[in-house]
Structure 1
Amino acid sequence: MKSSPFFLGRTVVEDPAQAQPVLYDPDDLTTHGVIVGMTGSGKTGLLIGILEEAALHGIPSIVIDPKGDLTNLFLHFPDLKPEDFEPWIDPESARRENMSAADMAAKTAEKWRNGLSSWGLGRDHLLALQQAVDYVLYSPGSTAAEPVNLLSSFAPPAGLNWEEHGEILRERISATVTALLGLVGLKDLDPLRSREHILLANLIETAWSKGAALDLSELIFQVQTPPFERLGAFPVDRFFPPKDRFELAVLLNNFLASPSFQAWVRGQSMDPQAFLYTPEGRPRMSIFYLAHLSEAERMFFVTLLLANVESWMRTQRGSSGLRALLAFDEIYGYLPPVANPPSRPVLLRLLKQARAFGLGLLLATQNPVDVDYKGLSNAGTWFIGRLQTEQDKERLLDGLQSIEGGVNRAEYGRMISALKPRTFLLHNVHQRGGVQIFSTRWCLNYLAGPLTRAQLSGLKALGAAPEGPALPITTTAPPEASRVPVGAGAAVSTVAPAAPSASPTAPPPLTRTPPAPPAGVAAFFLPPELSLSQALASLGATLSGSEKPEGLIYRPALLFQAEVRYLDRRAGVDVAQRVTCLVDEPHSARIAWEECQREPFDPRKLDPQPLPEARFYPLPAAFTNARTITAAQKDFLDWVYRRSGLRLLVNKALNLYGKPEDTETTFRARCEEAAQQALKDEVAKIERQFETKLDALARRVERQQVIVKKYEDEVGRRRLEELGTGAELLMGLFGGRKRSISSALSKGRMTAKAKAELEAAEKALDALKDEYDDLNRQKEAAIREARERWARAAAEITEITLNPQRKDIFLEISGLAWVPVYVVQTQGQTLEVPAVAQ
């Protein structure tokens, strides 16, 4: 569908009544546009007017504003009240005219009202502009407006894998490293000669090739201890000695440690998709105010922004129409003819390649001699205003002649010399009929001039669209009756009446082209997992020969897949599980996620393109609203968080945790094995403890047995002596020989004493044996108690649940999924068989 044109102004002719509207096809901006003009030429007004037209057409824009002029894009006042203008009136201008700020505001409001009225414009047009897009003002390196998070992570661009896009990613890395080194004072480094550049580029490449991100702190650490041993043919320490690497790390750390660094790590991440669209899919105009930054900081930010836009661009599908606009005011220093700042290679690549992706660049400058016109030779549209010097004009003509087809140098020179303020020469390679001279239209926004950082906070409220439905916009020239003489002001798109709502109709037929998803929503195609025969078999059917396959049809669904990580160092658990839901059109406010679950998909196997000759069902109403899909995604993540939990068997007595795949039987076997080992160790310890005591007692028993034996022998000997003495006494009495009775008595006493000593020794031996047996019983009791205790421990099995934190839930896949089904004609009926396993 052809886009409606931008209205830029009216042609300059001798008879103002014959002036014709100058209409411009926005799709021509895919070959980029250049605005050239000195201060006072109306260059900023023309640039703002084109951006207003883009907003009215719902075209998202990224606007780079180095001086602060383009912040005026927030100054649209539908009621045109003096009090709306007063905060933005320059007090010095009011003083020079001997007026108060309030009087000056009233005069300005009247001027704007009359200017718009003379073009047939009014409140409805201002409301339309206010509601057309979402306006956001960013102030990188400052919190005066919305900050931009630049340095928190050097993450690899989403959607670009290293295997397929290595060359593109290396260009992105080179630009990032050059900008970073320039920010810390190392400028004009040759990427092929600079050790610093080569080292940092290799560190980032090593991380990105593994899909990992680096923050600045990690990058500093890796500068000192690189994760590789060689750079080229040389060892790292020889190529870049540790002492020199430490100096580079200190230089980077100085920036990291600076208090001003904190402003660079807050706010919106460097995501062009978020700069161009709201989460609900509304187009957005993101304006980046850079007037407060130093030259090095501006170069750093602009390079990273352009590099991120380039990476985002390469993830988009090709487009012949204007998908988005990148406007850059005052490109002086960023695309010079001689030097090679880090922004220059990225800008040149965008100028050469962005057309294929529907991204248009609109560049403005007031210094023609300081711009590389060879690079700008890719621009198809030139807006040329008044120039300051003859040298500027000649340099500009040199550049125009380098464009394909060239220009009539003499004629262009004459026309450029005759240009007045707010008039421009329009050279458009797409437009037939040659060059045009036109006067710019009146801007809807109040042109207050450059705003200071202190004024930025007041712009946020102006960027918010009022409640209520947005007004439909169609860009046309003003009605004939509203034409005014050339130079009297500017015109803007008029509002067309709203079209009546269509009555309900039957669903549209199948299409060969997949319906486009809402802005900001990814789309992918599930690959067929089953052949037709396998798909029929899964339904309990077979091909009998009468069926007539009619190919594949894709049905739309929402696919959400999250990875849930469970991490518990105490339990030794580091497990990731995927949760996947495939949602047909929701029929209620809440989706029954449990009923939508299915086996996870491998993200690498999702097809970016459909199969040839496939057809597509139309998108249901719920799938055409980005806000609905975003809400479903949030609800999915909340559901995943609520239902997630990893159940583990645990034996606290054994300090033993089960594995996620353990059953109670397998875990009990592990517990019994662990308890047996623990029992074996404890029994060995018990035996060691008792062994020393038992050995000592055994030796005492042996010694005591020796003593008892000695006393037994003594008693036996004494008894023999006593018997011998008694026999001699009797023989003496009967034989007439006299023997001493006292000797017999003495032997008896000695025998009694030996018996007493023997009894004492035997008692001591018995006591020692009892003590030995008792110690043995104690040992056996300790072993028995340990055996019973470890048997109880092996049986003490309970269950715990590990719950993830929200930060441990990662959204892996989200978007519109096209699900393939086979279409088969059989017995006069159409049968649809899912080509994806259920």
Structure 2
Amino acid sequence: MSKIEQFKTHLAEGQVFKKDYIILGTGILDGEPIPQAQVKIPLKTMNRHGLIAGATGTGKTKTLQVIAEQLSLKGIPSVLMDLKGDLSGLAKPGTTNDFILKRSETIGVDYDPQGLPVELMSISNEKGVRLKATVSEFGPVLLSQIMELNYTQQGVVALVFRYCDTHHLPLLDLKDFKRVLQFITNEGKDAIEKEFGQVSSASVNTIMRKIIELEQQGAERFFGELSFDVDDFVRTKDGKGVISVIRLTDIQSRPKLFSTFMLSLLSEIYESFPEQGDADQPKLCLFIDEAHLVFSNASKDLLEKIEAIIKLIRSKGVGVFFCTQTPTDVPESVLGQLGLKVQHALRAFTAKDRKAITKTAENYPDSPFYDTAEVLTAMGIGEALVTALNEKGISTPLAHTLVRAPITRMDILSDSEIDQLVATSDLVYKYNKDIDHDSAFEILERKMMSVQQEQERSSQPLPNSSGRTTTRTKEDESLIEELSKNTMVRQLGRTLFRELARGILGSFSGKKR
């Protein structure tokens, strides 16, 4: 048997699947693609997560695009985090040329360019469906972890949530949260201390600064109503899975907002989706491009939360795929949970780079057909080392793979095409409305207004002992006006000033009598 036949047999024996699968490409041996030596990924283990890694310009995003396409054609929806803005082309057919036709023929697949059902979404100012979540939905623990609070400050946040629950104060946006924090250290301080004990003003001030930090990264647009229903991610259209592209090009410099959104999305999916068990295909796949932004700016507690959800969410039928430059961008505890590994070329310019490549090669199964470390630096654009889990959970043979070409456009949509796509979306009309229901901010404002009005009524002049109503003289009014202009008195607040004014008037009445 020739070496080529041995190679084909090696791949085929390791990729015997009883259930459905997607074809990612064809195997390469000694630098040449081998016709019909297809590299397949079983749908049954797509909920075991994955990694798409490689240096800049090696084809990571196109591989992500191919996998999302093939999942959609199988009726499986996906969510794509698009930080570079180059995934919107999934909505339009690709372009046919001789190079692509020859590549497809070598792989043994038909090239059928077509657009797929795409929903453009945003958590910022990008065009598309606006994704939002309320502060209450985050909960005190998750919100505290995002703001990187210490245990004392976390206790204050928990107190705020408890107080709002027991007093029916909805926490919908950051404006509500800030107003309640102001309330517990000012107007409602006495009531809070009777019910929960003393609250540190220093802790509240720190939390307020953390909220302002979130707002500066654009979080005020994310927190609020209408909350996004994660079931809207799992839609099909004409038998094809809908690809939800979340456009994040304008938040690359705001990693805290990105990690906040990412964690809330994973948490909501985990809490909302029912247990799926051992299904033949995933319910939903999430692709996180530029995944280092999720991990590099996250606190230890936040990382632990992300890692815990990654480990548990697969039982819900959800696969999470990280797209990044090097595997080291992803924590080892998460890497250990990944079933699919697609490794594009790495570049070695320094001794440190070479050591990193050697270490990366050790994470892949040994192959009798090539040296993994050598192939890592020799691969061209659109080539990758691929290994997945078969239906028994065993790693498939490592294959140097020529990845198939995307059937959708390998370029972005124009502004007019984006406008047209957004205009035909049903979800835009569902979610892109400015809603500001009565919540903690409005309720507390009305409460304080009512208290002020009651105080004003109680400060009206009282009848004197002779039965006549005491009136202010011009001299009295001049004195009160002068006092009201005094900076020190103004800082004492309206209530204290009214008490002071009533005392002055009483002494005047005594003199007149």
Q: TM-score, normalised by structure 1?
A: 0.41
Shift in CA distance, 343/363, structure 1 to aligned 2, threshold 3 Å:
farther
Letter in 2 for 1:68: G
Which digits, 9 at most, give the CA deviation of each residue in 1:406-447, with x for residues without a partner?
768994323323322221111224356621111110111222
Which digits, 9 at most, give the CA deviation of each residue in 1:275-328, with x for residues without a partner?
233799984321111110223332332232232223224x44434331110110
Shift in CA distance, 440/173, structure 1 to aligned 2, threshold 3 Å:
farther
Match of 2:71 in 1: 54
Match of 1:297 in 2: 257
Structure 1 SS opposite 2:88: helix
CA contact (8 A) 1:175 1:307 kept: no
Which digits, 9 at most, give the CA deviation of each residue in 1:486-544, with x for residues without a partner?
xxxxxxxxxxxxxxxxxxxxxxxxxxxxxxxxxxxxxxxxxxxxxxxxxxxxxxxxxxx
Of 421, 437, 441, which residue of structure 1 is paired with 2:404? Answer: 441
Match of 1:758 in 2: none
Whole-angstrom CA distance in 1 between matches of 2:20 and 2:423 = 26
Letter in 2 for 1:70: L
Which digits, 9 at most, give the CA deviation of each residue in 1:582-629, with x for residues without a partner?
xxxxxxxxxxxxxxxxxxxxxxxxxxxxxxxxxxxxxxxxxxxxxxxx
Which digits, 9 at most, give the CA deviation of each residue in 1:696-745, with x for residues without a partner?
xxxxxxxxxxxxxxxxxxxxxxxxxxxxxxxxxxxxxxxxxxxxxxxxxx
Q: How does 1:253-332 map to 2 (within 5 A)?
A: 263-264=221-222, 269-277=227-235, 283-293=241-251, 294-313=254-273, 315-320=274-279, 321-332=281-292
Match of 1:41 in 2: 58
Q: How does 1:44-443 map to 2 (within 5 A)?
A: 44-74=61-91, 76-77=92-93, 109=95, 112-118=96-102, 119=104, 125-127=112-114, 129-130=115-116, 134-150=117-133, 153-156=134-137, 173-179=140-146, 181=147, 189=148, 191=149, 193-204=150-161, 213-216=170-173, 217-226=175-184, 238=198, 240-242=199-201, 245=204, 248-249=207-208, 252=211, 263-264=221-222, 269-277=227-235, 283-293=241-251, 294-313=254-273, 315-320=274-279, 321-336=281-296, 340=299, 344-389=303-348, 391-392=352-353, 394-395=355-356, 398=359, 401=362, 411-430=371-390, 434-443=397-406
Shift in CA distance, 12/178, structure 1 to aligned 2, threshold 3 Å:
same
Q: How does 1:462-611 map to 2 (within 5 A)?
A: 462=421
Structure 2 SS opposite 1:378: coil
Which digits, 9 at most, give the CA deviation of each residue in 1:52-107, with x for residues without a partner?
11111111111112222323323x23xx7xxxxxxxxxxxxxxxxxxxxxxxxxxx
Q: How does 1:596-675 map to 2 (within 5 A)?
A: none
Match of 2:485 in 1: none
Letter in 2 for 1:154: V
Deviation, structure 1 residue 7: 1.3
Of 436, 452, 458, which residue of structure 1 is paired with 2:417? Answer: 458
Letter in 2 for 1:327: F
Letter in 1 for 2:62: G
Letter in 2 for 1:6: I
Deviation, structure 1 residue 253: 7.1
Which digits, 9 at most, give the CA deviation of each residue in 1:3-22, with x for residues without a partner?
42111111112464545121
CA contact (8 A) 1:29 1:362 kept: no
Structure 2 SS opposite 1:41: coil
Which digits, 9 at most, give the CA deviation of each residue in 1:190-236, with x for residues without a partner?
x5x354333224433665799985223332233234599999x9996
Letter in 1 for 2:234: L
The reply to whether residue 11 of structure 1 matches residue 24 of structure 2 is no
Whole-angstrom CA distance in 2 between matches of 1:260 and 1:370 = 25
Whole-angstrom CA distance in 2 between matches of 1:318 and 1:211 = 38
Q: How does 1:735-750 map to 2 (within 5 A)?
A: none
Shift in CA distance, 378/253, structure 1 to aligned 2, threshold 3 Å:
closer
Whole-angstrom CA distance in 2 between matches of 1:214 and 1:414 = 56
Which of the pair has more CA radius of gyration? 1
Structure 1 SS opposite 2:311: helix
CA contact (8 A) 1:326 1:360 kept: yes
Deviation, structure 1 residue 262: 6.7
Shift in CA distance, 243/462, structure 1 to aligned 2, threshold 3 Å:
closer
Whole-angstrom CA distance in 1 between matches of 2:140 and 2:361 = 33
Structure 1 SS opposite 2:119: strand
Deviation, structure 1 residue 401: 5.0
Q: Which runs of 5+ in 2 are unaligned?
A: 1-16, 426-513
Q: TM-score, normalised by structure 2?
A: 0.64
Whole-angstrom CA distance in 2 between matches of 1:312 and 1:211 = 24
Structure 2 SS opposite 1:286: strand
Structure 2 SS opposite 1:51: helix
Structure 1 SS opposite 2:293: coil
CA contact (8 A) 1:137 1:460 kept: no
Letter in 2 for 1:59: I
CA contact (8 A) 2:78 2:243 kept: yes
CA contact (8 A) 2:172 2:223 kept: no
Deviation, structure 1 residue 34: 0.6
Which digits, 9 at most, give the CA deviation of each residue in 1:652-671, with x for residues without a partner?
xxxxxxxxxxxxxxxxxxxx
Letter in 1 for 2:98: N
Deviation, structure 1 residue 339: 6.2
Letter in 2 for 1:12: I
Letter in 1 for 2:272: W
The root-mean-square deviation of aligned C-alpha atoms, in Å, is: 4.3
Higher relative contact order (CA 8 A, sep 6+): 2
CA contact (8 A) 1:65 1:289 kept: yes
CA contact (8 A) 2:128 2:422 kept: no
